[in-house]
Amino acid sequence: MPRLCKPSVSVPEYVITAEETLEFATRVHAGKPQLPLALRLIRNTGVRKRHIVQPIEKTLLHPGLTERNRIYELESKKRCPPVIEQALANAEVTVRDIDAIIYVSCTGFLMPSLTAWLINRMGFRSDTRQIPIAQLGCAAGGAAINRAHDFCVAHPGSNVLIVSCELCSLCYQPDEDDIGSLLSDGLFGDAVAAAVVRGNGGTGIELERNSSYLIPDTEDWISYAVRDTGFHFQLDRRVPGTMEPLAPVLRAFAADHGWDAGNLDFYIVHAGGPRILNDLAKFLDVDRKVFRHSWATLTEYGNIASAVVLDAAMRLFEEETPMPGATGLIAGFGPGITAEMALGRWGGATPGNLG
C-alpha cells in the first residue's frame, strides 16, 4: 500500500517577527482607514514569526514582475535540492528509485517546470514523469499527496517525490491595502518541503483513500488577479467560514471508509488561519489540540501555503510517533474552494527506528 514517508522542510534564513510585521504595516499603510482592523486581525492569527527569502527591506519593495520571477527561479533552484535529498534519505530511496515528481507552487512561474531542471541536475531518470501543479494554492499539498497515491495505485511499486516550493513573500504588493491583502501580508511565509510516497516499504502513513470536494460557486473567494505587477492575492471575507460546510464532507468521506472523522488518532490539516482550525475542531467535535501540528506550523512559520501539510506531517513523525495501525486524516483547503482529503493509518518501523 502506498506510504507517505517522513517529509523534509526548510525555511529561509531571514525572519520577521509578529511585532515587526505590525510595525511595518503601521508605517507602510499609515492613515488607511482599514488599517486598525487589519492590525487586529494580524494579531489574532497567532503567528509569532515567519521566514522570507530576502531581507524585509527588499521584500517591501516591488522591483517588477520580471525581477521577482528571476528571484523565484534562483531561490527555488538553490533551496529545493537539499530538501529533496533529505526527503529521499528519510524514505530510504535514491533519485534513481523515483518514478514521478509532483511539483507544487503558486508563488512563481517557470516553463519548463522546475521538475525538468531537477531531473537534469540531480540525476533522476530521464523517464521520470513530471506532474507540476500550479493553481491549487494552499490545497496543493493535499492534492500532491492524493495524486501521488493515485499514481502508486495505478503503477504498483512506483515511488513518487513531492516537492513544494512556496515563496509567498515574492507576491507582496505594497500598493494593495484592502483587508484581505493586509491580512495576507501578516500571515504568509516562505518554505520548501519535500516527501516521498513509496509504493512499497518505508515508514509512515499508509494512504488508503482520497477524495476531492469543491464548494459550489466559490471560485472567486480565493484567487489571484494577474496584472502587470504580478500576482495579486484576493481573499473573500467569507473564506474563514468554510469549515461549516466542509466538516460534513469530511465526516461523510471518513464514514464511507468506515471511520469516524471525529475519533481518529492524528490529524494533518492545512493551517490557513486560527478561525479555520478552531471551526474545524468545533464542527468535527474534536479538541482543538488534535491539530497541534498545524497550530505549531502556523505559529512558527505562518501560512506556508502548500507546504503546510508536509510540515505538519513532519511534526507528527518527530513527535512520539503513533502506534502501528493508528488512523488519521490529511486535509488541505484552497482556491475553488477546494478540499483535498486523505485517510491513512500508521505503518512501518517503530518510532525508535526512524533515524
Which residues have CB under 8 Å from 316's CB, separation 6+?
A: 266, 268, 293, 322, 328
Sign of CA dihedral 28, 334, 336, 147: positive
Compute CA distances 162 → 32, 97, 202, 263, 270, whole Å. 41, 14, 15, 28, 16
Please report the beta strands in 127-265, taking only residues with DSSP state E, as ranges in sequence order: 129-133, 159-167, 190-198, 204-214, 222-227, 230-235
What are the two backbone dihedrals, phi and then psi, of residue 206, each rounded to the nearest 5 degrees? -75, 120
Active site annotation includes 138: yes
Is 203 strand, coil or helix?
Answer: coil
The answer to whether residues 253 and 197 touch, using CB atoms and an 8 Å cutoff, is no
For residue 121, give the H/E element and its range: helix 114-122
Q: How far is CA 354 from the centre of its chain?
A: 23
Output the nine-digit C-alpha cell for 169.
Answer: 513573500
Residue type at position 349: A
State the Cα angle at 218 between 216 and 223, rounded to 5°: 145
Catalytic-role residue among 138, 152, 165, 171: 138
* β-bridge partners, 129: 100
* Residue where the block lists cell 500508521: 346
What are the two backbone dihedrals, phi and then psi, of residue 131, each rounded to the nearest 5 degrees? -135, 85
Orientation of helix 292-301 relative to helix 308-318, angle to 10°? 120
Q: What whole-number distance in Å separates Cα of residue 182 and Cα of residue 173?
A: 9
- Report strand pairing: 49-52 vs 100-104: unpaired
For residue 101, give the H/E element and its range: strand 100-104
Q: Which residues have a catalytic role annotated?
A: 138
